[in-house]
Amino acid sequence: MIQQAAGLATLVPFDKDAFGCSMISTAQAYGMSTAAAQFWVGNGFAVRRQDSTVTLCGEVPQASAEELREFLSCIGMRTLVCSQQNSHILSLPTAETGAEMELAGQISAPPEKLHFASAVPAEDDLRLREMYEVLSACAAPDFQVTPFEPFYLDMSHRIRHRAVVCAGAYRQGKLCACASAALSPARMLLFGGAALPQVRGTGAFAAVLAGLVQKAAQNRAVSLLCGEYLRQHYQTFGFIEKHTAGI
């Protein structure tokens, strides 16, 4: 039986992979039932809805597949993000596939002075407007950036509630590489990373990832989700494949 999640404690058992980390980080920032996000739990799985995008974590038993398919339709799902195993159980078509990867060692990176975003930015802090400009400059068919206002409102809210940390590297006074990490008690999930073409291969992006890990990983496992074509790229940083993901 699928029911509304009663509290954050009901999501803690799912803090085992990238999907669970993302879900718990959102709940820590927004609460359990707001206009921004809603959460439900079933037999061995949990569901988060943000607008028409649904994230599914845990393992869906075959006996629950029909009920969950009907439930996802009822809550207005247009896009589902989940493991490929769960998409197979639900018999849903997969538009994109990628890999969930986990850091297996230390990220080797050159020394770099990094700037971090904060709830009340000081002069030396990473500015979300600059971060958005870098992400927009690196936009591609498989790397889309939302309009600035929802991006800023969401990121500043999650930073303020310590559910997300963001870092960036500057060259010649201009932000050239940046990334973010969602935080849950057991994991951190790297996301929203990009480097301008002119600094790729110089170690700037590796330095940003290493800085995020150093600042926030503590005893957390470090995960990321990436497209198939980036799998080898992140392997060079020390990530290994954990699961296959589907959208």
User: Which is more confident, 98 or 55?
Assistant: 55
Helix, strand or coil, per DSSP, at residue 116: strand
Q: Given 95, 124, 156, which residue is the final one in a domain?
A: 95
Q: What pTM was computed for the model?
A: 0.93
Same domain, residue pair 85 and 160: no
Q: Phi and psi for 127 in degrees, rounded to 5?
A: -100, 135
pLDDT over 70, % of the chain: 98
Same domain, residue pair 116 and 238: yes
Q: What is the average pLDDT across 118-140?
A: 90
Residue range(s) defining the domain that contains residue 53: 3-95
User: Could you tell me what percentage of the chain is helix, strand and coil, using 3-state DSSP and rounding each to the nearest 5?
Assistant: 35, 30, 35
pLDDT at 91: 94
Same domain, residue pair 105 and 89: no
Q: Provide the domain count of the chain.
A: 2
Q: What is the average pLDDT across 80-105?
A: 92
Tell me if 209 sits within 8 A of 160, measured CB to CB.
Answer: no
Q: Given 95, 115, 150, which residue is the final one in a domain?
A: 95
Same domain, residue pair 122 and 198: yes
- Whether pLDDT at 142 is above 80: no
Alpha carbon distance 181, 153 (integer Å): 16
The burial of 172, by beta-carbon neighbours within 10 Å (0-12 exposed, 13-18 middle, 19 or more buried), is given as exposed
Same domain, residue pair 118 and 159: yes
Residue 148 binned pLDDT confidence (cut-offs 50, 70, 90):
very high
pLDDT at 247: 60
